Amino acid sequence: MELRGLYYRSKFVRSVVTDPTLPSFLANLAGEPLYPHFLLMDAPSVNFGKVTNDTVIEGVVDPWHFDSVAYVGVSLISDIEGMVGGELQVVKRRRKEALSLIYKTKNKVAEKDLLNVKYARSGNCIFVQGSEMVHRVTRVISAAEPRLSLVMAFQPANVFQPDKSVLDTCGTSTRSMVPRTMKIGRAHV
């Protein structure tokens, strides 16, 4: 489950992603200036991972996917001490090759082709090129509380930089409008 629209509903969350300190710090990691992504409905969101036996596909609650934005920072905000599961798995291939591997193996990617990432403690953040890496999250088997992750989306500040936003996941009713809105927003920063 995902809670969206936090940019509009929470002054605190909005200040976290727009305060110059965070984008400036992440820009050093990215090697280029960054802005919060203009798809503000999703730019900051919270994912909830409950302890459950319900899975989408064999032990995962978040199937293989790549993100819609160039850069993503994911910070765990819940107590993860003693948590079993809830790990980020990344296919060690470029996006197109990773999707082909998942298809060829019928969703049974070998361990040697995976990078398993486990957060060391609450508050840690993983910063990645979300639209370039295919990943998923395993189900939470046991935990003191639900796995809550704050997802923050960023894009290059340079309007002449190629746009890596991937809008295939937007609903068909908004697909034609969102790109125009984002292009207008990027041009007026």
User: What is the tens place of the pLDDT at every residue in 146-184?
Assistant: 888 899 999 999 988 877 777 665 544 444 444 444 444
Q: What is the mean pLDDT of residues 56-66?
A: 67
CA distance 152 to 29: 15
The H or E element containing residue 172 is: helix 172-175
pTM: 0.79
Going by the DSSP 8-state scheme, the letter that residue 112 receives in this structure is G
pLDDT exceeds cutoff 80 at 43: no
Read off the pLDDT of each residue in 64-77 and give the average, rounded to a whole number: 89
Instruction: Render 127-160 in DSSP notation, one character per residue.
Output: EE-TTT--EEEEPEEE-SS-EEEEEEEEEES-TT
Instruction: Give residue-wise pLDDT tens across range 103-160.
Output: 999 889 999 999 998 888 899 999 999 888 999 888 888 888 888 889 999 999 998 8
Helices of type H across 4-147: 6-9, 11-18, 21-30, 95-104
